[in-house]
Amino acid sequence: MAIDSWRQPRRLFLLAIGGLTVFFLMVPTLVVVPMSVTSSNALTFPPEGFSTRWYEKMLTDRQWSTGFINSAQTALLAALLATVLGTLAAIGTARGRFPGRSAVNALILSPLIVPVIIIAIGMFSVFVRWKIAGSMVGLVMAHTALAVPFVVVNVTTSLRTMDRNLELAAQSLGAGPVRTFRRITLPLIMPGMLAGGLFAFITSWDEVVVAIFLTSARFRTLPVEMWEQVRQVVDPTVAAVSTTLLAVTTTLLLLAFVARRQGPAR
């Protein structure tokens, strides 16, 4: 009884600490939401009046709308490529038996550890030689490299938690490797692939450091456009764009969480 009476207050205390920590981290981010609907011409908090004209400017201004389209296209292409490549890499490293497997796995996951500024400088020097710096092709390749580790981690987790006896049963009944993968393995790892793909999209959607190095005046993503606007003129349009990015990222994170909670398909 004494132990149980101690556990309950301790749990409440930990929940309170966790809630305060989340509040402390989230409030500075959420401040931009009311600032995006202010009627003032300057960023002010609390907002003065209510107006949606900054969202209208975000949608109608050519620079912002073009940046939004560029970000969406780049993130979608990078997510698709990262999902395919990351799934293949996860299968190879999780199921393969070859010398240097640990080193290969470490190399694939290195973008999670190496500072992004170092990656940006290295990619810039290489892509300039390949003459793809400042283009969508170069940025998609760079963001794919940054996003692949997220797919590898999620798909590897799905592979390690699935029942391999199902694959063996399919093979014993005459199914070949391709059919076994298509009918058994792929449905079982699909939640991990979906979660990894969503994380890959978020990685590209919000990324700014590498994008600053690999974009040009003719091709800019939304985070880069925000960076340039903040350096020159600051108006509530930046808050409106920030709120939009926050809403898209939060929605995708919730979808990724739901996808991971689905577990292996039955």
Per-residue model confidence (pLDDT) at position 209: 92
Cα distance between residue 76 and residue 68, in whole Å: 12
For residue 31, being part of any structural domain is answered with no
CB contact at 8 A, 192 and 158? yes
What is the pTM for the complete model shown?
0.82
Cα distance between residue 86 and residue 191, in whole Å: 14
Per-residue model confidence (pLDDT) at position 263: 56
Question: What is the chain's pLDDT, residue by residue, as a tens digit (266 residues)?
Answer: 445 555 677 778 788 888 888 778 777 777 777 778 777 777 777 777 777 888 888 888 888 888 889 999 999 999 999 999 999 999 888 877 778 778 888 888 889 888 999 999 999 999 988 888 888 999 999 999 999 999 999 898 888 887 777 777 877 777 777 787 778 788 888 888 888 998 999 899 888 999 999 988 788 898 888 888 777 767 778 888 888 888 888 888 888 777 766 655 44
CB contact at 8 A, 155 and 49? no
CB contact at 8 A, 220 and 166? no
For residue 22, being part of any structural domain is answered with no
List the one residue out of 200, 73, 222 whose CA is nearest residue 136.
73
Cα distance between residue 201 and residue 65, in whole Å: 19
Task: Match 């209208």 to its residue by tokens.
Answer: 56
For residue 243, being part of any structural domain is answered with yes
For residue 57, being part of any structural domain is answered with no
Number of other residues whose CB lies within 10 A of the CB of residue 19: 10
Looking up residue 74, the CATH number of its domain turns out to be: 1.10.3720.10
Number of domains in the chain: 1
For residue 231, being part of any structural domain is answered with yes
Per-residue model confidence (pLDDT) at position 260: 67
Cα distance between residue 134 and residue 213, in whole Å: 8
* Longest alpha-carbon distance in the chain: 71
Structural domain boundaries, residue 141:
63-262
